[in-house]
Amino acid sequence: MPQRGWLARIHTWIAVSLGAYIVVVSVSGSASVFRRDFYRWHLESTHPHFMRAIEWLVDLHDNLLLRSTGRMLNGAGGALVIVLVVTGLLLWWPGWRQVPAALRIDRPAASRRFARQLHNVLGVISCALLLIWALTAVYFAFPDLFERAIDFFDADLDDPYRPGEATLLGLIRLHFGRFGGLGIRVLWVLLGLLPVVLLVTGFVLWWGRTVRPRLRRRARA
């Protein structure tokens, strides 16, 4: 199917282009989850160097250490991640009857088959959260776009039930894991590293499908 080939190219190109960005944002985001807890535990007075490192990681995650320019780059990165997730879902979709089989993972093994299964299953089960993270990254960079959309449906700023506003605030809480207790934040630290796992398994698939055959043909020539 020609469309599938183009989807695969778009998915691969975006993943390869954003590889370093995904690692930086994922690791720094996971490291920043407990930022509020650290201040509540008064670590800024007992471990100032540690807290300065946390603030540096927060700035790296939020602004890529580039202030407003970095935040805009984050917004562009979030938009590309949305395309990455959507194309990945379209490439994976096996049809309703085949969904259970497509969500199966065999025993761990050093093989492309296992890497593909792990990549697909982790991508599918985390796609909603990945979309939330990406969409809110776009919001943080370009909030006026979202505010205009909310105003379009209800321009009354004093209305406590403006459509979309509660949803947007809920998505922001989900982005940072600002709900529940300690267990949720621990879970968010682990989930924040999922994009790195997806990147690594995707790289294994790309290398085995594209790079390795080329190297073999060159060796034969």
Residue 1's pLDDT is 52
Distance CA 211, CA 110 (A): 18
| DSSP assignment string, 124-145 | HHTHHHHHHHHHHHHHHH-HHH
Give the C-alpha separation, 3 to 90, whole Å.
10
Count other Cβ atoms within 10 Å, centred on residue 149.
Answer: 12
In tens digits, what is the pLDDT along the chain, a chain of 221 residues? 557 889 999 999 999 999 999 999 999 999 999 999 999 999 999 999 999 999 999 999 999 999 999 999 999 999 999 999 999 999 999 999 999 999 999 888 888 899 999 999 999 999 999 999 999 999 999 999 998 988 888 888 787 778 788 889 999 999 999 998 999 999 999 999 999 999 999 999 988 888 777 777 777 76
pLDDT for 62 equals: 97
3-state secondary structure of 54: helix
Q: What is the SS3 assignment for 188?
A: helix
| pLDDT value, residue 182 | 92
Taking the C-alpha atoms of residue 177 and residue 195, their distance in angstroms, rounded to an integer, is 16
Contact indicator for 106, 113 with CB cutoff of 8 Å: yes
Closest C-alpha among 28, 80, 55, 20 to residue 192: 28
In this prediction, residue 217 carries a pLDDT of 78
Ramachandran angles phi, psi of 49, nearest 5°: -65, -40
What global pTM score does this model have? 0.91
Provide the terminal-to-terminal Cα distance of the chain, rounded to the nearest Å: 31
